[in-house]
Chains A and B, each alone.
Chain A
Amino acid sequence: MSTSDGSIDLERDELVGLLKEQLALERETIASMDKQVRRTKNRVIKLLLDGIVLDSMKHIDMLETMIDLLTGSVVPEAERDELGKELKRHIQVEKDSLDRLEGVIGRTEDKGVRFLLQNIASDERRHHTVLDQIISTLAVGENITDMDWWDDILKSKDRVILLFYASWCPFSQRFLPIFEKYAQSNEQICLRVKTDDKASL
């Protein structure tokens, strides 16, 4: 979470909105790349563009998952243990495959083959990081509920200043620019919380 630029709005709806926009962009990428893939006759170009399409599909899954997380669904406990075990096994499999790939990369002269193998290797390395992260998340039994999410943010720093305001309130309107100015001239983390939604107050 970036906070160095002063105050940020932690409206969850806003974040979900941004994720949804990104989702739409990824879908556009897939559509336009797909067109190019079909047009080109060069196999290497086809392959690389296909890779981008696959990445975008993956990103769509990730974005949808984030939206799920933010809107409340969590991993049930029974599923968690099973998943953790499976992921640990998979980390080992990928590590072996990475070692093998690196061996081959070092012994091939063909530039094209080298390039593609390096691509695979970098994917595997990235997977390793991702899997590690998932496992550590599962290990602490993290159910990302609303309150935990807030607690994490609040506990992550020594001092956090939280402003509750409402856009319809004239005193809030008057105070917001003061708060913003303070946030920008200050190292401390200043967050705004909009409480407009009467139903949720």
Chain B
Amino acid sequence: MIKQVSEKHSVEVVPTVLLFERGIVTKRLDGVPGVGLNEKQLRDLTDAH
């Protein structure tokens, strides 16, 4: 299950955030290797739509 979802959307790093709108990925946040993700990035992803 995890494999299918992450492969379908080519999730290659953790953490990664996908935003689905009615089943379709409209935005994504791939963690930067060695840095990760921060709160601002999460807010920007979900607020600006």
Please list the residues of chain A having a beta carbon within 8 angstroms of any beta carbon in chain B. Answer: 12, 146-147, 149-151, 154-155, 157-166, 169-172, 174-176, 178-179, 181-182, 186, 188, 193-195, 197, 200-201
Say whether, besides A149-B1, A172-B36, A175-B36, A165 and B18 are in contact (CB < 8 Å).
Answer: no
> Which are the 6 A-B pairs with shortest beta-carbon distances?
A171-B36, A155-B23, A146-B1, A160-B20, A166-B14, A200-B3
| Number of A-B residue pairs having CB atoms within 8 Å of each other in the complex | 98
B 1-22 binary contact with A (CB < 8 Å = 1; else 0): 1111110100100111111111
Cβ contacts under 8 Å, B14 to chain A:
164-166, 169, 171-172, 195
Interface residues on B, range: 20 to 34
Please list the residues of chain B having a beta carbon within 8 angstroms of any beta carbon in chain A. Answer: 1-6, 8, 11, 14-23, 31, 34-39, 42-43, 46
Cβ contacts under 8 Å, B34 to chain A:
171
- Distance of A103 Cα from B15 Cα, bound (Å): 62
